[in-house]
Amino acid sequence: MLNDRVEGRWLAAFRDTFALSAITAAERVVILSETQSRPLNVELARLALEQLGVAPLTLVVPTPPQRAPVPIRSTGASQALNGQPTALAALTAATVVIDLTVEGLLHAPQLPDILAAGARVVMVSNEHPDALERLVPRAEDEQPVKAAMKRCRDARVMRVASAAGSDLEIDLGDARTGGVWGFSSRPGTVTHWPGGIVVNFPRAGAVNGHLVLDVGDINLTFKRYLTSRVTLVIENDFVVAIEGQGTDAELLRRYFAAWGDREAYGVSHVGWGLNERARYEALAMYDQRDTNGTELRAFAGNFLYSTGANEFAGRFTQGHFDLPVRNCTITLDDEVVVDAGQLRAARA
């Protein structure tokens, strides 16, 4: 069991990460947290900023009531700012927002307003600092993610195949492509730590085929390695069948159905992990309360398939799955970018 106390090495990890985002004393910095945020990370963020000469505003909002029909975990769609106009006004007046909400602002409805006002948002994922310490971003992490984003934007079609039987085709025309390497100094941007991932939000009707979740693949909503094979049948973006026997298939069927919302079955985003320091086995090393699983989204060579909200396809829902799949071959047009789970270098 990890002890929740300030350690010098964890403070250094926060300070070094914030320094990469060029946060200085001249900035208007707000630390956003909620009553259920991890107190240790809030304290480490405050102390790290003070070491950089920053006097941050610490803003704490109440964690909202649980109104969903099932527990919500690891969605990136915080509801903490709903009905909080005063808090939102403070965030839109900031030049830097350190996001320490439980779920994170990545898919929150208020994020576009915060970015449009010129703030950059640094999301600190709800991980124990023991994990964050191992995954402090480095300056050299930026280029591989930017290169992967360019490859996606230049491509028309992404195909995903695996020896387990996956056969998925994604039309990338008009998709919105993004990437995160863990830091940003540019106004109007969002990043998260840990980073190292490229994602595409396809337009409506762009995803078709079969995705096989094999034994050992990961359901991050449940923080669980699969122990039985599950096949998702996907037609025009939507999971129309969940095939398989055993607990993993049953959990998926029940959680999807609990929302009573067709949008929950739709694709949110697709992409792959680029972080060579992120570890596939990390989920086995932490208590569930001590991990948000962001590291598992980023480990190098995984194909990340996510369901739920996709504002670029006009879909909004709180239902969400992040499903890192190993051993896939990902092709952009005729270029293999991931070969059976191994990253391929970009063509010269």
Task: State pTM to two decimals.
Answer: 0.94
Which pLDDT belongs to residue 1? 61
What fold characterizes domain 8-134?
Rossmann fold (3.40.50)
Digit-by-digit pLDDT tens for the chain (348 residues) are 678 899 999 999 999 999 999 999 999 999 999 999 999 999 999 999 999 999 999 999 999 998 888 888 878 788 999 999 999 999 999 999 999 999 999 888 899 999 999 999 999 999 999 999 999 999 999 999 999 999 999 999 999 999 999 999 999 999 999 999 999 999 999 999 999 999 999 999 999 999 999 999 999 999 999 999 999 999 999 999 999 999 999 999 999 999 999 999 999 999 999 999 999 999 999 999 999 999 999 999 999 999 998 888 888 888 999 999 999 999 999 899 999 999 998 665
Which pLDDT belongs to residue 140? 96
SS (H, E, C) the chain: CCCCCCCHHHHHHHHHHHHHCCCCCCCCEEEEEECCCCHHHHHHHHHHHHHCCCCCEEEEECCCCCCCCCCCCCCCCCCCCCCCHHHHHHHHCCCEEEECCCCCCCCCCCHHHHHHCCCEEEEECCCCHHHHHHCCCCHHHHHHHHHHHHHHHHCCEEEEEECCCCEEEEECCCCEEEEECCCCCCCCCEEEECCCEEEEECCCCCEEEEEEECCCCEECCCCEECCCCEEEEEECCEEEEEECCCHHHHHHHHHHHHCCCHHHHEEEEEEEECECCCCHHHHHHCCHHHCCCHHHHHECCCEEEEECCEHHHCECCCCCEEEEECCEEEEECCEEEEECCEECCCCC
Segments making up each domain of the chain, as ranges: 8-134, 142-178+194-343
Which pLDDT belongs to residue 101? 97
